[in-house]
Amino acid sequence: MRWLWPLLLAWASLAQAQGALERGEYLVNGLGHCGACHTPRGLWLQERSEAPLQGGWVQGWAAPAINGQALQSWSQAQLVEYLASGQAPGKAHAAGPMAEVIEQSLSRLNGADLAAIALYLRHVPGPAPAPASDGPANADLSPPRGQPRPANPEQLSAGQLFDAHCASCHRGGGRGLPALNDPEILARRASANLLMVILDGVQRGGETRMPGFAGQLTDRQAATLVNALAAPGLPALVPGDVAARRGQPPLYFRGWVLLGAAGAGLLLAVGALAWRLRRGG
């Protein structure tokens, strides 16, 4: 009968893992509604059921894909740490809507629930995201000593903008804390999110960890700075991209606008049809 015990232990282990997966699925797709941000939207702002957790947009921020392929370089422990604290050294630091979710919700879960969420996300099927570049930042951020300042502020270089607004904390060349010259960090961050951090800053736990510069940088200056910080291979931003990201309305507001436009169109169509029927009668 000794051979039976290993089988029973293996069966118990499998049952426990299956229970954790089911718990994680319930928390992610039910209570957590992670797809509200991380699943792409269709024409009517519905979540696209054929692309679960493959990445979306929320209030100007890019919500990355969080399926098994996208998280294959993350360990279980790293995911749990990020969900609990918003920080995973060498991987990511939460900001924007994700930081709010972690502070107000995920950080209050117990360890078993966080482990179940991490386990489920690592088992979600989906395509692998485009590989991130591992090269250095696009531009030299060293302090531009001795360079004349252009008469037109719109022509300030990335180094001059960085020296004026960023170097006091991030130090020359981005070597401060947190370091901005680390390609492993920047390669994983979409240009849109770099922009939102620069515009809105980072607020965590009721305190400002980084001030926003939306009121100090023009659209062109912000685009110049983001393009310098981003890793090679990411799409370059233009001033119009920055203007579009400023003051992005919440998703539900855009949904009401879209539904309102559709309702107005329907009323016009019904009115036109009624008018034609009356004329024909």
Question: How many other CB atoms sit within 10 Å of the CB of residue 234?
Answer: 21
CATH class in words for 153-245:
mainly alpha
- Alpha helices (H) in the chain, listed in sequence order: 4-26, 35-38, 76-85, 96-104, 111-121, 158-165, 167-170, 183-186, 191-200, 219-229, 239-245, 251-280
- Residue 19 vs residues 25, 32, 84, 110, 119: alpha-carbon distances, Å: 10, 18, 21, 16, 11
Query: pLDDT 10s digit of each residue in the chain, 281 long?
Result: 554 445 434 434 544 556 789 999 999 999 889 999 999 998 888 889 899 999 998 888 889 899 999 999 899 999 999 999 998 887 888 888 999 999 999 999 999 999 999 999 999 998 877 665 554 455 567 666 777 888 899 998 888 888 888 888 877 655 555 566 554 455 455 678 888 889 988 877 777 788 889 999 999 999 998 888 876 677 788 898 888 888 665 544 445 445 565 666 667 777 666 667 776 65
Asked if 85 and 17 count as a contact pair (C-beta separation under 8 A), the reply is no
**Max intra-chain CA distance, the chain:** 91
Rounded to the nearest 10 degrees, the angle between the axes of helix 76-85 and helix 96-104 is: 90
The fold for domain 19-37+54-129 equals Cytochrome Bc1 Complex; Chain D, domain 2 (1.10.760)
Q: Could you count the other beta carbons within 10 Å of the beta carbon of residue 131? A: 8
95, two tokens? 């900001």
Place of tokens 């515009």: 199
For the chain, how many helices (H) and strands (E)? 12, 6
Helices 111-121 and 76-85 sit at what angle, rounded to 10 degrees?
120
Model pLDDT for residues 169-224, shown as the tens digit of each residue: 877 655 555 566 554 455 455 678 888 889 988 877 777 788 889 999 999 999 99
**Angstrom distance (rounded) from CA 137 to CA 271:** 58
Rounded distance between C-alpha atoms, residue 191 and residue 197, angstroms: 10
